[in-house]
Amino acid sequence: MSLADRLAAARRAEVENHGVGSPPDEPEHAPARAADSGSETGSETGSHPGDDAAAEQAGPAEPPRAADDSPVARAVPDQTAGKRRADSPGRAPTPSGDGLPQRRAIAVQQQERIEELKASVHAELVKQLGPHLYDVDMDQQELDRQVRAVLAEVLGSQDRPLSSSDRARVSQEIGDDILGYGPIEPYLRDPEVSEVMVNGHDRIWLEKGGRLTRAEAHFSDEAHLRRTIDKIVSRIGRRVDESSPMVDARLPDGSRVNAVVPPLSIDGSALTIRKFAADPYTVADLVRFDTLTAAARDFLEAAVRGRLNIVVSGSTGAGKTTTLNVLSGFIPGDERIVTIEDAAELQLKQDHVVRLESRPANIEGKGAVTIRDLVRNSLRMRPDRIIVGEVRDASALDMLQAMNTGHDGSICTLHSNGPRDTLSRLETMVLMAGMDLPVRAIREQMAAAVDLIVHQTRFKDGTRRITHITEVERMEGEVITLQDVFAFDSAAGFDAEGHARGHLRPTGLRPRVLEKMAYANVTVDPLLFTTDRFR
């Protein structure tokens, strides 16, 4: 009996013992096929005519052993082997995790090569284009064309060609670095990102939907971040260095920029960009976001048309400027409006608008034009309305005087924690003017000037809500009395996801300012203030 016959008999016996049907074809690792072919074509398998006889005398042959010295299946292969071949013929076995370190090493090498390539391309661009890269007077479309041309030329001359995905990635990253603001450029393009915060070269944070998330991107090093900051401020004729380590600026698209560099910023340069909304939110958006209700919207629209003086208050990031922009949109188009801001953000649609922007001092400490200077000057510009982006210093006194001297319907914002705190902040800022005024006189002027306080809050879940629409009534003794016209129902609490359940509801009290609005021929439906008609 040949060796093949012996193996076949052993296989049949083991199949019968286990009760498993024989697979339709030979297992991959069983030597039967090789043995059979060897008996027919001994020259190909290396066997010789005398092998069969020697095998009979030697008895049953010991099956071959695998590399790990464990016996290879003699008769029946893995019981699922035939099924695997039937279900997925030709499928390669799943690779083990042994090659993971090697794959990681290859990925690291590829990344290092891409970084080296980016550095060489960047150097070549600087060499060929030189000062044109930072020339503020150069047409940006022409600069973009030249950069793309040099980029394609350098990438095409590489000894080791890049894959299409790597080439696109390198082109995008270098283009962002040269023409934009490096790794933060994609986030500036992302419409869902409202603010970009850089805390050192390796930490970038984003605000999306009112929530903060950390970005995966980062700057190469501190020098890379400083180059980006220098590019931002140089394009608007400013500079930032150790002698002037802080700067406020505005990008060409209107986004607000603040940069602080060492030694003031201890852990590396800090950069904050609040993006400018090319398509600002409308009052319909605020109602849809539940920032305010339809009833509150109707009342605020009537208040603006009725020439009430309004202060929009709230914490940082609460949405004060957005609300100010919406309220300003209610001003009739036949009135002359003067807007005053540190960085122009308001986007009024009326035709008769004069926009003024403050200016910091130059390197020599001269040439500063403050908000207070602009408020004083605006009084000589025959304004019907004065809108101040933010009152934060002695300009509060000039703003109150403007409201009290025939410029009804003016609006401003300031930082505070609530309606009562808004008046305290105003009082403090008036005292900063350095005028020796009694506190009671200041409070009387505030009570006469301010009609409404619209207070806005940013909740923990990132939503922004108007929580108070408060009427400033009158002086009672030494205290200014306040009355909520609409108030947020904070008692409703929060749902399982942390979203506030409450809404801005009328308090049921009829505001006294309706009489002042009547002089402007504006009436309000009394049902807006009833608690049983909450909308």
What CATH number should be reported for the domain holding residue 251?
3.30.450.380
DSSP, res 381: S
Q: Are residues 63 and 140 in the same domain?
A: no
At residue 225, φ and ψ (nearest 5 deg) are -65, -40
Residue-wise pLDDT for 232-258, tens only, equals 888 777 788 888 899 888 887 888 899
- DSSP characters over 181-231: -GGGHHHHH-TTEEEEEEESTT-EEEEETTEEEE-S---SSHHHHHHHHHH
Residues 6 or more apart in contact with residue 237 via CB below 8 angstroms: 136
Q: 17-31, 159-173, 230-244, 327-341 — which one is most confidently predicted on average?
A: 327-341
Q: Are residues 269 and 293 in the same domain?
A: no
| Cβ 239 vs Cβ 261: under 8 Å | no
- CA dihedral sign of residues 390, 394, 395, 396: positive
Residue-wise pLDDT for 80-101, tens only, equals 444 444 444 444 444 555 567 7
Residue 457 β-bridge partners: 465
Q: Which of 137-146, 415-424, 441-450 has the lowest mean pLDDT?
A: 137-146
Q: Which one is predicted more confidently, 242 or 162? A: 242
- Whether residue 291 is predicted with pLDDT greater than 70 in this model: the reply is yes
Task: Kindly state the tokens that stand for 219.
Answer: 């700057």
Would you say residue 340 lies in a domain?
yes
Task: Kindly state the tokens that stand for 233.
Answer: 């401020």
Q: Which one is predicted more confidently, 514 or 106? A: 514
Q: Are residues 111 and 186 in the same domain?
A: yes
Would you say residue 100 lies in a domain?
no
- Whether residue 442 is predicted with pLDDT greater than 90 in this model: the reply is yes
pLDDT, position 453: 98
pLDDT, position 2: 52
Q: Are residues 287 and 257 in the same domain?
A: no
Residue-wise pLDDT for 42-76, tens only, equals 444 444 444 444 444 444 444 444 444 444 444 44
| Cβ 40 vs Cβ 47: under 8 Å | no
Would you say residue 132 lies in a domain?
yes
Would you say residue 28 lies in a domain?
yes
Domain boundary among 84, 116, 146: 84
Q: Give the pLDDT band (50/70/90) at residue 277.
A: confident
**Claim: this prediction has a pTM higher than 0.95:** no
Q: How far apart are CA 200 and CA 177, in angstroms?
A: 17
pLDDT, position 302: 96
Q: Are residues 436 and 409 in the same domain?
A: yes
Domain boundary among 254, 274, 294: 274
Please tell me whether the peptide bond between 245 and the residue prior to it is cis, using omega within 30 degrees of 0.
no
Parent domain of 207: 106-274
Q: Is 81 helix (H, G, I), strand (E, B) or coil?
A: helix
Would you say residue 91 lies in a domain?
no
* CA-based radius of gyration for the chain: 38
Domain boundary among 19, 52, 84: 84
Q: Which one is predicted more confidently, 111 or 260? A: 260
Q: Are residues 290 and 258 in the same domain?
A: no
Q: Are residues 377 and 521 in the same domain?
A: yes
Average pLDDT of the chain to the nearest whole number? 80
Q: Are residues 48 and 74 in the same domain?
A: yes
- H/E element, 52: helix 51-58
Would you say residue 534 lies in a domain?
no
Would you say residue 359 lies in a domain?
yes
CA 466 to chain centre: 23
Quote the Cα angle for 435-438-439, to 5°: 110
| Cβ 228 vs Cβ 187: under 8 Å | no
Q: Are residues 468 and 381 in the same domain?
A: yes
pLDDT, position 182: 85
pLDDT, position 234: 81
Q: Are residues 189 and 227 in the same domain?
A: yes
Q: Is 296 helix (H, G, I), strand (E, B) or coil?
A: helix
Task: Kindly state the tokens that stand for 327.
Answer: 């309220």
Q: In what side-by-side order are the strands of the sheet with 211-214?
A: 211-214, 204-208, 193-199, 270-274, 256-260, 246-250
Q: Are residues 419 and 332 in the same domain?
A: yes
Q: How far apart are CA 86 and CA 31, in angstroms?
A: 21
pLDDT, position 150: 77
- Whether residue 312 is predicted with pLDDT greater than 90 in this model: the reply is yes
- Whether residue 225 is predicted with pLDDT greater than 80 in this model: the reply is yes
DSSP β-ladder status, 385-388 and 411-415: parallel
Task: Kindly state the tokens that stand for 348.
Answer: 């009024």
Provide the percentage of residues in the chain whose pLDDT is more than 90.
44
Residue-wise pLDDT for 329-377, tens only, equals 999 999 999 999 988 888 899 999 999 999 888 777 788 899 999 999 9
pLDDT, position 4: 52
Q: Are residues 260 and 310 in the same domain?
A: no
DSSP, res 490: G
pLDDT, position 1: 54
Q: In what side-by-side order are the strands of the sheet with 479-488?
A: 353-357, 337-341, 385-388, 411-415, 310-314, 452-458, 464-476, 479-488, 504-506
Residue-wise pLDDT for 470-513, tens only, equals 999 988 989 999 999 999 988 777 777 777 778 899 999 999 99
Would you say residue 99 lies in a domain?
no
Q: How far apart are CA 80 and CA 95, in angstroms?
A: 18
Number of compact structural domains in the chain: 3
Q: Give the pLDDT band (50/70/90) at residue 105.
A: confident
CATH number, domain containing residue 490: 3.40.50.300
